Structure 1
């Protein structure tokens, strides 16, 4: 199968069910809102703004969903990137409850967009979190009880070591938290479907139109090599690909690289041995492993990161080592695809949203929880631009520290931190 033109060679790019091409910006355009970045944040912002009657232009440096939105694990999980007990300690019960409600709405929003716009993206239900160590097992049990008792959430349950080994064909894990209300999907087809919905609402999408510079003001302006867009508002939706476009935001996030493989299609008995309930799966290591079965019964397995500007020369082999630690029975299974992508993390692993100045808004730093969170962020960005600020401001008030040393020293600092946590993964309890 041939990858979608202009996208990295991945299983997702080879199995797209839409091949929409959008023009390059080659003129001056005037709209109400200019969105920079055509990933989940930008596309969701554009769609929700168009539904409110705004004229919107989206500028994408590469292709729609070229970055993390088209390359990720496809997990659509309930909750924030931090667990609810952490959020209660960090922000108090009232904010923790609102954040929980937002997370439920985020997953429901993804499903609603898929249903309303007829997006074919291998949508399935359920995510499992597997305990890698005794302390992690205790945490998963206690967190499930907290969600059931304090938040009235019936979608989650805990299973012990025997139970998890009946569902997941690996002896590596000690227990599991099973969330039946979460989702998983084909992330690129989902993003392309949202883009198609945007175009159907009159949104102007421009690919291969990298923004070289922008300014706020009245009007705001974004400049590309061959054209410019003037607007009353700008949304910065670049996330891990922000680069040097906006130094005021860059130090709040750390771009990191994560890697994924896809096996050959598996026989049905083997697929059911690996994941009996067809849920998506992730474990509790600091550098997590995550996996699921695709619509055609391939194992999509993500594992391993690096913190440089380069990808491993052999991504398939790099990830396969992690896969075989979980599933040694796949030793003879062919690996058909291997790819990587860049995501953005924050120090506290919570999304970073806000205003830089009147008319300039942003959202970034989803820390591996981007499918639901970025989609929901787009809805909040549309709300605040339309004048309804309360929900956006809840997220904007969440503190986001600058990485120590800013953009200059964040890389060596992160490497040291990741080394420490990798040692805990290997030797901690």
Structure 2
């Protein structure tokens, strides 16, 4: 029986980050709200460039999506490239694709530079469940080649079995540029690097009030920060702190189960070359092997902020639909958390004032893009806006219905896509 809310990543974290809570009034060049990958990356970049930086986190470093997600590294944005072209034009869409590859390179560079032990592995399988999706993969491979990304391989069902031993999939596109890692250990490694560079990190310090101005004023219950610049990096957990941007993102619950250790032979028979995997359904399954040979299997979503009942058992059933040979395998961990989605599934970057900037709404593609977002936010502080503005030009709409009705509206829309997946 899986243990509800027992996070496998927390159980296997390989370092502790010691951060005090804010207890006094301080000044800084830059204040950052949010101790996940976006905020930590921004703090690290800024500290390395000589800025004085204070970061405030309401819980612990990596407590939110950065320490709970599937750990999957995926090229591109969550929005389809063709749909992105319709929003921003071919030139910007191509630039955004290139940025996503730069974001992945940033992960590799930081892991090497800061010697972060986070089980980084390369290889990604986009798996088709039905014949229509096989055609989509063929079209996608052509699109990727046109973008200069010609390293992918389309695996037919017979060839796929050597890489992914499941009867569920019709084909898959193997992308060597994607991969996976232990997200909490990666986040903690970046946080330690930020501290070493001089950033001041405060945890258990929820922000209660923000007052923009020539110097932004940020208050907590026990202290305050006065800063020339403020970076908003709370993503799904920013809540209503900044009402001007909160309607553009929706917190969505997603869930993962970790099996008992399978052993090397059995694990290798499931996923031959240790790639990360996700299917092409709207409400998708995604999974990978951990360093200690467990299957980490993610799926389910909750738009109501209510954890589904019998979550561990329902996740095991989904896993066994993909891998019936694991009928005897127990689940040992099951956990979840919120990610922030936007209506068009593209990340939402922008400025609230001349010195208050934000980046959020990565819609499930945050492992790589958050690191790039932190870099671009630091560039913006340094008056280098060109790359940030490519993201800022993506048009966004608020979720309809306001606070009272936007969740029911989204549940109805998702029900349509669930039915489409089923049919």
TM-score, normalised to structure 1, is: 0.96
Could you tell me how far apart the structure 2 residues matched to 1:122 and 1:175 are?
Answer: 27
Which position in structure 2 is the counterpart of 1:395? 391
1:45 to 35, 42, 46: 42
Q: Which residue of 1 aligns with 2:313?
A: 317
**Equivalent position SS for 2:161:** helix
Name the counterpart of 1:36: 33
What is aligned with 2:206? 210
CA distance in 2, matches of 1:146, 1:307: 32
Is the contact made by 1:290 and 1:301 (CA closer than 8 Å) also made in structure 2? yes
Q: Is 2:359 aligned against 1:363? A: yes
Structure 2 residue 151 is the aligned partner of structure 1 residue 155: yes
Shift of 1:246: 0.7
Partner of 2:286: 290
Per-residue CA deviations over 1:197-254 (Å, capped at 9, x if unaligned) read 0000110000000001111112101100100011001001011111110111111011
**Residue in structure 2 matching 1:77, options 64, 74, 78:** 74
Match of 2:375 among 354, 379, 394: 379
- Aligned-residue offset at 1:183: 2.1
Which residue of structure 1 aligns with residue 219 of structure 2?
223
Q: Is 1:180 matched with 2:176?
A: yes
**Equivalence for 1:168:** 164
1:419 to 410, 415, 420: 415
**TM-score (ref. length: structure 2):** 0.97
Contact 1:260 1:340 in 2 (8 A): yes
Q: What's 1:195 paired with?
A: 191
Task: Check the 8 A contact 2:232/2:359 in 1, yes or no.
Answer: yes
Shift of 1:313: 4.5
Q: What secondary structure is seen at the aligned counterpart in 2 of 1:348?
A: coil
> Is 2:96 aligned against 1:99?
yes
**Higher normalized contact order (CA 8 Å, seq sep 6+, divided by chain length):** 2
Q: Could you list the runs of 5+ residues in structure 1 that have no partner in the other structure?
A: none
Which residue matches 2:256?
260
Using the alignment, how far apart are the partners of 1:183 and 1:171 within structure 2?
23
Aligned-residue offset at 1:290: 0.3
Give unpaired runs (5+ residues) of structure 2: none
The separation in 1 between residues aligned to 2:325 and 2:157, in whole angstroms, is 20
Secondary structure at the counterpart of residue 338 of structure 2: strand
Secondary structure in 2 aligned to 1:31?
A: strand
Asked if structure 1 preserves the Cα contact closer than 8 Å seen for 2:87 and 2:394, the reply is no
Off by >3 Å, runs of 4+ in structure 1: none
Q: In the aligned structure 2, how far is the partner of 1:397 from the partner of 1:43?
A: 24
Deviation of the 1:90 alpha carbon: 3.1
SS of the aligned residue for 2:207 comes to coil
Number of residues of Structure 1 aligned to a counterpart in Structure 2: 420
Provide the C-alpha distance between the structure 2 equivalents of 1:86 and 1:42, rounded to a whole number of angstroms. 28
**Matched residue of 1:16: which SS?**
coil
